[in-house]
Structure 1
Amino acid sequence: MEKYKFIIIDDSALDCYIAEKMIRYTGKCEDVHCFLGATEALEFIKTSAVSADDPLTIIILDVLMPIMSGFVFVEEFEKLPENIKDRYRIIALTSSMNKNDIDKICSYDTVNDIMDKPITAETLSPLLF
């Protein structure tokens, strides 16, 4: 079974905890990093060495966050070099967003999917290719 690395970006420590538990439950997890802020997560991505041999990293991104929203994170992520972006997949995480927000986050090239909070193993597993 193919395993993935995960980055969880959510301003709620409880939601990060739940997401990590559900990700580990899928059995497809090699490693998980949790960030309560998108700025720190983006810096982690920029400074992490990536190679074509590394497993793909799935980013679980809360869209509505203070300081740096999921929208701003994706805009900054899309400025990264292709060889870095190719090693990541973004799944946007929503709670009760309006249709305009959902359409906007889905319009980014690097956002691969969207799912509702709270994360469950049943909703996450089908998104892991």
Structure 2
Amino acid sequence: MSAQIPNFIIIDDSRLDCFIAEKIIQNSGTYSSVKSYMEATEAYEAIKNGLIGDDSIITIIILDIQMPVMNGFQFVEVFEKLPKEIQSKFAIFLFSSSINENDKNRLDNYPSIIRFYSKPISKDTVAQMIEQI
């Protein structure tokens, strides 16, 4: 993909983590839009129904692993069943405050996950994510 200013979606059950990530992305100055979801199921439905995701701009998904109802891996499993033309509009980056070895080993099972980062998100992390899309 080419260098572009992406949209961002934050999926995290922590209101504070969503707020912090939004502010860091906004302060980076390299975003088209930013939206937070505290439930992965809500974000998935919006993606599946075409409510988010632009044909001309990639959307970076900042996805927390440990969430109730639908965790990060469960989100990726249903996401990867969506049509390729939908999947191609998004780039998924997993985030967690603590990741165990089993979770790290599972990352390779999901082609749509670009990279794992430890929380908290930083301006440098935002720049790295944009470089990788």
Instruction: Report the TM-score when normalising by structure 2.
Output: 0.90
Q: Aligned partners of 1:29 and 1:59: how far apart in 2?
A: 12
Dislocated runs of 4+, deviation >6 Å: none
Cα displacement (A) at 1:24: 1.3
Cα displacement (A) at 1:8: 0.3
SS of the residue corresponding to residue 29 of structure 1 reads: coil
Q: Which amino acid aligns with 1:2?
A: Q
How many pairs align? 128
SS of the residue corresponding to residue 96 of structure 1 reads: coil
Q: Quote the residue 1:5 is aligned against.
A: 7
Q: Quote the residue 1:55 is aligned against.
A: 57
CA contact (8 A) 1:106 1:114 kept: no
Map Cα deviations across residues 4-48 of structure 1 (whole Å, 9 max, x no partner). 111100000000000111111222110111000000000010112
1:27 aligns with 2:29: yes
1:77 aligns with 2:79: yes
Which of 105, 108, 111 is the matching residue for 1:109?
111
- Please report the RMSD computed on the Cα atoms of aligned residues, expressed in angstroms: 1.4
